[in-house]
Amino acid sequence: MEPESPFIPYLARLQSVTDLTPDTKLFNLELNDPAMRDNFDYSPGQFAFLSAFGVGEAPFCLASVSYRKAGLEFAVRRVGTVTSALHELEPGATVGVRGPFGNHFPLEDYKGRNIIIIGGGIGMAPLRPVINTIIDHRDDYGDLLIINGARTPQDLVFAPEFDIWAASPRSRVELTVDRGDEAWTGRVALVPDVVKELKPSPENAITITCGPPIMIHFVLEALRMLGFSDHQIVTTLEGKMKCGLGKCARCNVGEYYICKDGPVFTFEQISRFIEQF
């Protein structure tokens, strides 16, 4: 059943809340309407607005994969009003869901290619469904390299899933942190430096990257140095947005609206606007 207007959220029940890091929680939601639940299809890269009733709504990437039909998942980092209100909710609470919106990573076009995922911090949220789709359809894709960085070991958002990802055939997970602790025996380095160290080949490859703007800036520089062309480098942009439908014009970048033309773009499309990020 469609809502009367794209501005009216569907009601959903919060099924579970899991701490991912000290400031990020994973929310698993089930839409209340059974027909809507069956029809709510979405693709990696798309996003939806979550509303905390009485407080407001904010956009978040769908961190789950639609075909698993295991609830809608969102990894939400607490930064301000809406995200704090969402973090206060307990399982059983009702939230609003408006979406899915935006374009998606064209994974169909990437079949047969080597995929390099480069994520920093909460930037792993849109990358998780990409990784899970590749792992669930492993024969369709070439080698999978995942480079994931965070400020500290506790800030690695999907840590419980690393072993599953690394156990998939022809897959590698390379982790790095800005600052280690006594228990951390892994790499201490910035993500762009790990890209330079590992030197992934641009041949038959696509890179999907998401993270803080400063990380993206230097990752882009490193990938170009390794011979990647801008059309081989794909990212997903964030921006202030209200409607999600290309009406309010808050999220425009050059000739694009992030909500409608994105959030997924190649650097071929957006490199000339890079200074705005």
Ligand X SMILES: Cc1cc2nc3c(=O)[nH]c(=O)nc-3n(C[C@H](O)[C@H](O)[C@H](O)COP(=O)(O)OP(=O)(O)OC[C@H]3O[C@@H](n4cnc5c(N)ncnc54)[C@H](O)[C@@H]3O)c2cc1C
Q: Nearest distance from residue 80's CB to ligand X, in Å?
A: 2
Site string for ligand X, 80-99 (x = CB under 6 A): xxxx----------------
Closer by beta carbon to ligand X, 37 or else 87: 87
81 token code pair: 């009003």
User: Is 199 near ligand X (CB under 6 A)?
Assistant: no
Residue selected from 12, 31, 72, 75 as contacting ligand X according to rule CB under 6 A: 75
107 makes contact with ligand X (CB under 6 A): no
Q: How many of the chain's residues bind ligand X (CB under 6 A)?
A: 20
* Contact flag: residue 210 with ligand X (CB under 6 A): no
Pair of tokens at residue 197: 């160290």
Is position 200 an interface residue for ligand X (rule: CB under 6 A)? no
Shortest distance in whole angstroms from residue 33 CB to ligand X = 24
Per CB under 6 A, 241 contacts ligand X: yes
- Shorter beta-carbon distance to ligand X: residue 151 or 196: 151
Output the smallest distance, CB 63 to ligand X, in A: 6
What is the Cα 110 distance to its own chain's centre?
17
| Interaction between residue 261 and ligand X (CB under 6 A) | no
Task: Please give the angle made by the CA atoms of 210, 87 and 3, to the nearest 5 degrees.
Answer: 80
Structure tokens at 34: 């059974």
Tell me if 73 sits within 8 A of 63, measured CB to CB. yes
**DSSP of 122-177:** GGGTTHHHHHHHHHHTGGGS--EEEEEEESSGGG-TTGGGHHHHHHSTTEEEEEEE
- Does residue 197 sit in helix, strand or coil? helix
Nearest Cα neighbor of 74 from 16, 132, 116, 117 is 16
CB of 81 to ligand X, least distance (A): 4
* Amino acid occupying residue 149: G
**Residue 4: CB atoms within 10 Å:** 6
Torsion angle, CA of 65/66/72/74, rounded to 10 degrees?
Answer: 30
> Which range, of 13-21, 79-87, 103-111, 225-233, touches ligand X by CB under 6 A?
79-87
**String of contacts with ligand X for each residue 116-155, x by CB under 6 A:** ------x--x------------------------------
Q: Which residues bind ligand X (CB under 6 A)?
A: 47, 58-61, 75-77, 79-83, 122, 125, 238-241, 263
